[in-house]
């Protein structure tokens, strides 16, 4: 979709300088944008590099110094304005209601008349697919599953029996929701399976990245709150409870019965031990290790393995950097001590 600079300014409620009728058909990063592209400028580094940009239109802060041949729209938050415009430039079109001939839908399933159901998708007994849902090719939806209105399942998503997905959720390709949790009891000389008879409940406006795995609860429910976003390759184990608007980056793993409070942020490749608690608003740095049962306080920022407050972590890194110098000093002191001991022996 193409927009004029004037239309873009209206979307983001900005002030235009330059050609208001210039047509913008795409968005790009500042360094690669062309004459029909929109870009945004944020921060001192971007301000300096903007002079070389060939973008047709720039979203800039009120204080930006114009020195190029662009159309400029001044806004209070260029990044946020850019996001708003992207939703219009790249507006998603909802497919028309359709059920592919190869889809298998159980007679007892209830699929709203305005849904899109792709090829080779299977929907089990008693499942309910609410209005305006989009179910892509090769999805597997188990018995008794509930999918809320406006939700989108990309290809090869698997929802095991009894899973509940809220409204406007987006599940990307390869997600598996509701597989058995890793529950075993050691008896005698072998492990016996602890039956995983709970379920998974996913809230409204949740987005789950490609190839994520969310395990069903042993008893009760594994829960993911409204507005939470999971990156690709995230694993959420049985009986975890994740709050609202939590962000979890790729390759993070949560062990069983972990609790994460609202608005927490968890960096990539973080490992969270069993029954750990991460309170609301906490920030977990990438590759952090949260120990079993560890409690991260509300609003606290932690890093490292084991995870500890950021200030402590940075002090530890600083001390670690001094180790070669300390080693050299110790070697020097040992040598000097040896010389003194030798002198003492000669005197005696």
Shared-domain flag, residues 83 and 128? no
Helix/strand/coil (H/E/C) assignment for every residue in 23-55: EECEECCCCCCCCCEEEECCCHHHHHHHHHCCC
Structure tokens that stand for 214 in this block: 């969310």
Separation between Cα atoms, residue 155 and residue 152, nearest integer Å: 10
Per-residue model confidence as pLDDT tens digits over 143-153: 999 999 999 99
User: Is position 348 within any domain?
Assistant: no
pLDDT at 330: 86
How confident is the prediction for the chain on average, in pLDDT? Answer: 92
Shared-domain flag, residues 31 and 163? no
User: Is position 76 within any domain?
Assistant: yes
pLDDT at 341 > cutoff 90 = no
When pLDDT is cut at 50, 70 and 90, the band that residue 199 belongs to is: very high
Shared-domain flag, residues 50 and 152? no
Is the pLDDT higher at 152 or at 188? Answer: 152
**Of the candidates 89, 120, 143, which is a domain's last residue?**
89
Is the pLDDT higher at 341 or at 214? Answer: 214
User: Is position 331 within any domain?
Assistant: no
Per-residue model confidence as pLDDT tens digits over 9-52: 999 999 999 999 999 999 999 889 999 999 999 877 767 778 78
Instruction: List all residues 6 or more positions away from 315 whose beta carbon is below 8 Å from its beta carbon.
Output: none
Contacts 24+ apart (CB under 8 A), 75-78: 75/12, 75/13, 75/14, 75/15, 78/40, 78/41, 78/42
Shared-domain flag, residues 188 and 40? no
**Of the candidates 37, 66, 89, which is a domain's last residue?**
89
Shared-domain flag, residues 264 and 160? yes
Is the pLDDT higher at 114 or at 312? Answer: 114
pLDDT at 346 > cutoff 80 = no
User: Is position 341 within any domain?
Assistant: no
Per-residue model confidence as pLDDT tens digits over 221-277: 999 999 999 999 999 999 999 999 999 999 999 999 999 999 999 999 999 999 999
Structure tokens that stand for 67 in this block: 């020195």
Per-residue model confidence as pLDDT tens digits over 169-182: 999 999 999 999 99
Determine the average pLDDT of the residues in 159-165: 98
pLDDT at 267: 97
Greatest CA separation for the chain: 104
Q: What are phi and psi of 322, to 5 degrees?
A: -85, -5
User: Is position 65 within any domain?
Assistant: yes
Structure tokens that stand for 311 in this block: 């200030």
Shared-domain flag, residues 210 and 81? no
Indicate which residues carry an active-site annotation: 238
Shared-domain flag, residues 200 and 265? yes
Separation between Cα atoms, residue 99 and residue 255, nearest integer Å: 38
pLDDT at 42: 87
Separation between Cα atoms, residue 346 and residue 135, nearest integer Å: 90
Residue listed under structure tokens 């020195």: 67
Per-residue model confidence as pLDDT tens digits over 109-136: 999 999 999 999 999 999 999 999 999 9
Q: How far is CA 72 from CA 12, 38, 44, 68, in A?
A: 12, 10, 17, 10
Shared-domain flag, residues 112 and 36? no
CB atoms within 10 A of CB 249: 20
Return the CATH number at 295: 2.160.10.10
Separation between Cα atoms, residue 318 and residue 133, nearest integer Å: 52
When pLDDT is cut at 50, 70 and 90, the band that residue 312 belongs to is: confident
Residue 285 domain boundaries: 98-310
**Of the candidates 46, 71, 89, which is a domain's last residue?**
89
Per-residue model confidence as pLDDT tens digits over 52-100: 888 899 999 998 887 667 789 999 999 999 999 999 999 888 889 999 9
User: How many domains does the chain fold into?
Assistant: 2
When pLDDT is cut at 50, 70 and 90, the band that residue 348 belongs to is: low
According to DSSP, the residues that pair with 37 across neighbouring strands are 26
Shared-domain flag, residues 75 and 128? no
State which H helix or E strand residue 144 sits in.
Answer: none
Return the CATH number at 44: 3.40.1390.10
Q: Of 135, 130, 128, 129, nearest to 99 (Cα)?
A: 135
pTM of this structure: 0.85
Separation between Cα atoms, residue 63 and residue 41, nearest integer Å: 11
Shared-domain flag, residues 134 and 267? yes
User: Is position 47 within any domain?
Assistant: yes
Given strand 247-248, what is the order of strands in its sheet?
A: 98-99, 116-117, 134-135, 152-153, 170-171, 207-208, 229-230, 247-248, 265-266, 283-284, 301-303, 308-309
Shared-domain flag, residues 226 and 259? yes
Shared-domain flag, residues 206 and 243? yes
User: Is position 132 within any domain?
Assistant: yes
Separation between Cα atoms, residue 301 and residue 297, nearest integer Å: 9
């Amino acid at each position: 979709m193409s927009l004029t600079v004037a239309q873009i300014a209206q979307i983001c409620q900005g002030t235009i300088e330059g050609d208001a009728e210039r047509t913008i058909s795409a968005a790009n990063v500042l360094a690669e944008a062309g004459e029909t592209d929109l870009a945004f400028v944020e921060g001192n580094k971007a301000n300096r590099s903007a002079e070389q940009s060939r973008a047709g239109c720039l979203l800039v802060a009120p204080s930006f110094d114009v020195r190029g041949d662009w159309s400029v729209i001044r806004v209070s938050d260029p990044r946020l304005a850019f996001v708003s415009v992207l939703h219009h430039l790249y507006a998603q079109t909802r497919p028309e209601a359709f059920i592919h001939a190869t889809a298998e839908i159980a007679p007892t399933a209830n699929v709203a008349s305005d849904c899109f159901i792709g090829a080779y998708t299977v929907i089990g007994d008693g499942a309910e697919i609410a209005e305006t849902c989009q179910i892509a090719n090769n999805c597997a939806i188990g018995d008794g599953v509930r999918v809320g209105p406006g939700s989108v399942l990309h290809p090869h998503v698997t929802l095991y029996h009894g899973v509940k997905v809220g409204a406007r959720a987006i599940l990307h390709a390869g997600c598996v929701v509701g597989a058995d949790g890793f529950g075993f009891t050691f008896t005698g000389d072998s492990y016996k399976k602890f039956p995983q008879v709970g379920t998974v409940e996913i809230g409204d406006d949740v987005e789950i990245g490609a190839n994520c795995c969310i395990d069903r609860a042993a008893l009760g429910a594994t829960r993911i709150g409204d507005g939470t976003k999971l990156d690709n390759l995230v694993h959420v184990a049985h009986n975890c409870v994740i709050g609202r608007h939590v962000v979890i980056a790729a390759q993070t793993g949560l062990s069983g019965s972990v609790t994460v409070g609202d608005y927490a942020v968890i960096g990539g490749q973080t490992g969270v031990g069993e029954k750990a608690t991460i309170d609301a608003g906490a920030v977990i740095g990438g590759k952090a290790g949260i120990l079993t049962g560890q409690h991260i306080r509300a609003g606290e920022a932690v890093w490292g393995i084991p995870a500890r407050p950021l200030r402590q972590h940075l002090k530890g890194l600083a001390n670690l950097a001094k180790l070669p110098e300390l080693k050299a000093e110790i070697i020097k002191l040992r040598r000097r001590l040896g010389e003194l001991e030798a002198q003492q022996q000669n005197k005696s």
